[in-house]
Structure formats: C-alpha cells, structure tokens
Structure 1
C-alpha cells in the first residue's frame, strides 16, 4: 500500500489576511512567492472580476506550503497579487463559478473553526491506483480531477498540468473530512524550475501532526492507515495522529484550537542552529524539543505550530 505515497505534497494554511500571513512567513525565514487570485466574468461576456480564493506559495525542494484567503465577504485582494484569468467557454462559466464558489464556501467554513492548517495532501505518482485502492477499501472520494494550475516562476505565471483527488467522509460536504480537506495530488514535472531557497534553510515538508479527541484516536488511526498506509505515521506521508491529552508532550505548551485539527507541520532545514538564530533574531519565539528539532508556537504563526527539523 505504501508504494503509492511519495511523501507530503502540501499543506494549506487558511488565514484571514493574506498580506499579514506573507509577512509572518517572511519573519519565519521563508521566501514567499507572489500571491495570485482568479478572475472570472460574473456572466458570459461580462468583465472579469476577482472570485474564489487568493493564495501564495512557499515552494520547497520537497512539497510546499499554501497560504489561502477567501476573496469577498470582508476579504480583499492582497498587495502585489497577480490576477489569473480563467478562460472557459461561455457555456461553462456558470458551472465553473459554482465549483469555485463551493471551494470558497468550504474554505470559509474551515476558517470559522479557526485560523490555521486545514488542508493536507499527500504526493503520489499513481493517482488512478490510489483512487481504485480507496474505492476498494470503502473510502469515499470525489474522483480524479485533471486541472491546469498557475505556477509563479521567475519569468512570470505559467499554467502547469496537475491531478488531484479529495477524500470525502459520509455526512460531510463533498471533499471534506472532519479535520478539513485531505487528499492526494500528482504533478507533471515542471517545465520551469521553481525558486526554493529560503533564509531559514528549509528544504522540505516532512511531517504533519493531527490532533484528535482521546476517544477518537483509535478510529482516526485506522482511517489514516487506510488512506496512507500505517496508522500513526501514515507511511511515507508522515502524518502523526496524537490524542489531545498528549499534544503537550509532543509540543510543550500547545493546545489544539479545535478537535480534530492539524496542530502542526514540520519542515526540514539544512542547519537547525542557524535557523533558530534567524528566528530569534526576527523576534520569533522558539521552543527546543531536542537536539535536532525546535518549533515556533501556534500563537506566533497564525494558528499552527511550525516544527523545524534538522535535515538528514
């Protein structure tokens, strides 16, 4: 089972204010790509207008972090954001607006729970096989979707092919599980390499912590075991499922904002001592949890603890 999981693809950090989030991530030592947002006519032939969600990416050598904010309902277009025109035939505009609107509604519902990470996708090179495996195991999903995703490169925005699948649990909106949005993604090789250098030396997305109510722990471990391979470490996706009563043992001082919740994610860095020095120099609090690991508390990182782990 584990052979179809190549690690974490990305986590999605949902925020109220994308400008604030980008500044926060820069203080954390990350390089944040220019934000972007889709534009689409409200009616066929009408003027294009911002719609859905705006996002910005922290690209790593392995995986990425997506910062997401909803446009409208009090949201705003972030400073310096690039519009991404969505070009579809006139007879497809209404359907696309409905699909994007549903995604934005999902994101809004996640944000009402708390500001933080609500999205976690594993990377795979065999998405059709994953879909078949989930179906055979009785796990619901929305099928494989083929899309063109905007990618910010040093020479501008390019559209790159990608495929994804969202897991669905009974009784919840399509594409949702109790902790948010979980699935698999498969990307074609990029035609233009992305810049992945960061002042903090981050090299890859290497882990995620899902915190659940104590009585729910066995069931969630089984569920994630079906999704990704092993129950508590989820194979090579490295998702740690932890009971709420034990979160403080793993990350001292942390409390989950809700249950269930992605309470933390981890990135590998080339030099942990240098990363810690940069963080402290930027006025960011850090907590040391061992010789090869430290973390920034959720209170200092917009609702999610960020673990920095020595690479290798």
Structure 2
C-alpha cells in the first residue's frame, strides 16, 4: 500500500461566468476572495495582459476549493478581479505562454463538456516519492513542477513554494494533462508559519470527500485505474468503490446509483465539506434561500443546480 498520498489537496470547479460563480459561493456561505489572473506580454517588450485563467480559492483548514474560468488574451477580467504580473526572462516567455495557454485550453475543453467539477488534486507529503512510484507502475505524468502560491499571513500576502504533478491522458482519446473525467494530479505544499485561514458563515472546516460518477460497466476498470494512481486498494460495496485517504475519501460510483448525476461520464458529481455545526450550516442556507435536503443523519446536501454544477454535502465533523 502506498503512503505517498495523504488526503485531498483541492477540488476545482470550472465556471463560465466567474462573477456569477463567486456570488453563488458567497451565497452558500463561503468566504471567497476576489479572483486573480496572471498577466504576461504577448512578446518581449509588449504590455502585459491577462492570459490563461482567472481563479479564486475557498480556503479551508488544510485544503481548498478552487473556482476557475479560462481567460482569452486581452479578454476583460471578471468583476472585482486583480491581475498578477509575471516576470519572466525574454527567452523563457514563449514557453511559459504556451504552457499557460495550454492549461487554459484544457479548462475550456472541460467547460465544453459541462460547467462544474473537473479538477481533483491529491495531497502528498513527498511528491518525489509519489512520482517514482507512478514511474515504477507505468503511470504517465508531466513530471514534478515548482510554482509559487499566494498565502495570507498576519503580515500580508506572501508567495511561498509549492510543487505539483499532473497525470497524463493515459486513457485512449484523452489529451496530455487531462483525463476523461478532467484534470487529476498531486501537490505538495511547504509548511508555512503564520498562515491565516478565513472562517465561513456556513461553518465549513475541511474538504473531506469527492465523488466520481462512471458508467456502470466501467466501474471495475475505473477502480483499478485509481488503485494504481493512489497505491492502495478500494473498498467495494455494491455500486461503489471507496478509497480511504487521510481524513478524506474518494468514492467512485456507478451512474445508475446517482440520479441526476453529471451531464457526461466519467464526471465528478460533487464533494463533501466537514462543518463545525450542522445547525449553523442549515440556518445559513435557509436564510440565504439555498435549496437543501437531509439525505441522511449528520449531513445536508445542496443540489448541483444551486452550486455551480456539483453537489455539495455538508457533513458534521462528528460523522
């Protein structure tokens, strides 16, 4: 059994309208900072312009939910956004532009399938060890890349190192960097002293689960594929295969067991958030006019139609 995967690093929703997406998530009770977008010149000496994708993060205790939208060169940014100029040597500019535009093209392809949940990134305590394990079992990936990520501290915003890899499209028909279900990868963050995480009106604490919906006859192969990715076996029970991570789960479920699931298969149907107090969560949702239900004890579900195309299950920390 592999021990180079910890829990869930983040999930990501691809939205067509970032302003509406941010408004929706704020109504759900999440604290959502203004979106940001990188800015690069189209050629050396040119004026830097927004390029790639605009995104924002709903920061939780150990992980986050990302909302992202592709941005064309020179396209107006969503409301309340900020640009982040990227300094790069002239000889590296073409390569960086190609990478940024390629990532945006992958996001646009996800959006063409359906607006909703298309990104799942696992957390790793040792991403180099994870990469070696994947190499040993023949899982293609794009290698480990180093980036800088912004964090909020008591002294303001700081840029700190992070490292990630993305799985290649090793399933026939899937392009590099994107599997049939979307973007899948692993990330490792360096520990940061003084990082501040916001509180949320709905009581959200942590991202603790994600659900992938697959065609019924593809469940065994999908489970086998994820067993290879994660280096651990799934728990099989009827139409589901569940992977137990560190304080989180990934559940693969047959489409026949998910009425009203994602518009295309395979597809991520939703995710689960642990909350401090389920009564606080329900009070907020009711006051905000957000539709919700109690499918089981200790859980409140917001339907995909009210949450950017992905069901959100709010679960009491006691469950």
Name the TM-score, length of structure 2 as normaliser: 0.92
Give the structure 2 partner of residue 251 of structure 1.
Answer: none
Any stretches of 5+ residues in structure 1 without a counterpart?
A: 249-253
Task: Using the TM superposition, give the Cα deviation of residue 190 of structure 1 relative to its aligned residue in structure 2, in angstroms.
Answer: 2.6
- Which of 221, 224, 233 pairs up with 1:222? 224
Q: How does 1:288-299 map to 2 (within 5 A)?
A: 288-299=294-305
Any stretches of 5+ residues in structure 2 without a counterpart?
A: 235-240
**Alpha carbons of structure 1 residues 75 and 46: separation in structure 2 relative to 1, 3 Å:** closer
Is 2:212–2:270's contact at 8 Å kept on the other side of the alignment? yes
Give the structure 1 partner of residue 111 of structure 2.
Answer: 111
Distance 1:302 1:6 in 2: 27
Residues 1:233 and 2:242 are matched in the alignment: yes
Give the structure 1 partner of residue 187 of structure 2.
Answer: 185
Give the structure 1 partner of residue 198 of structure 2.
Answer: 196
Cα deviation digits, residues 188-229 of structure 1 (max 9, x gap): 123541323101110000000000011100000111111122
Is 1:164–1:186's contact at 8 Å kept on the other side of the alignment? yes
Cα deviation digits, residues 66-92 of structure 1 (max 9, x gap): 100111289631222121111110111
Tell me which moved more, 33-42 or 102-111: 33-42
Tell me which moved more, 184-193 or 51-60: 184-193
Q: How does 1:109-188 map to 2 (within 5 A)?
A: 109-151=109-151, 156-170=156-170, 171=172, 172-188=174-190
Give the structure 2 partner of residue 309 of structure 1.
Answer: 315
Is 2:15–2:67's contact at 8 Å kept on the other side of the alignment? yes
Task: Using the TM superposition, give the Cα deviation of residue 3 of structure 1 relative to its aligned residue in structure 2, in angstroms.
Answer: 2.0
CA root-mean-square deviation: 1.6
Distance 2:110 2:155 in 1: 34
Kindly tell me the number of residue pairs found equivalent between the two proteins.
Answer: 307
Give the structure 2 partner of residue 300 of structure 1.
Answer: 306
Give SS of 2:160's match: strand
Is 1:298–1:304's contact at 8 Å kept on the other side of the alignment? yes
**Alpha carbons of structure 1 residues 97 and 156: separation in structure 2 relative to 1, 3 Å:** farther
Distance 1:272 1:226 in 2: 35
Give the structure 2 partner of residue 259 of structure 1.
Answer: 265
Residues 1:211 and 2:220 are matched in the alignment: no
Distance 1:48 1:152 in 2: 25
Distance 1:82 1:258 in 2: 33
Distance 1:23 1:74 in 2: 24
Give SS of 1:215's match: helix
**Alpha carbons of structure 1 residues 215 and 102: separation in structure 2 relative to 1, 3 Å:** same
Give the structure 1 partner of residue 258 of structure 2.
Answer: 247
Give the structure 1 partner of residue 290 of structure 2.
Answer: 284
Task: Using the TM superposition, give the Cα deviation of residue 138 of structure 1 relative to its aligned residue in structure 2, in angstroms.
Answer: 1.5
Distance 1:157 1:176 in 2: 31
Name the TM-score, length of structure 1 as normaliser: 0.94
Give SS of 1:40's match: strand
Give the structure 1 partner of residue 238 of structure 2.
Answer: none
Distance 2:2 2:299 in 1: 26
Cα deviation digits, residues 249-275 of structure 1 (max 9, x gap): xxxxx3221100000101000011220
Distance 2:186 2:243 in 1: 13
Is 2:36–2:81's contact at 8 Å kept on the other side of the alignment? yes
Distance 2:101 2:93 in 1: 12
Distance 2:152 2:178 in 1: 27
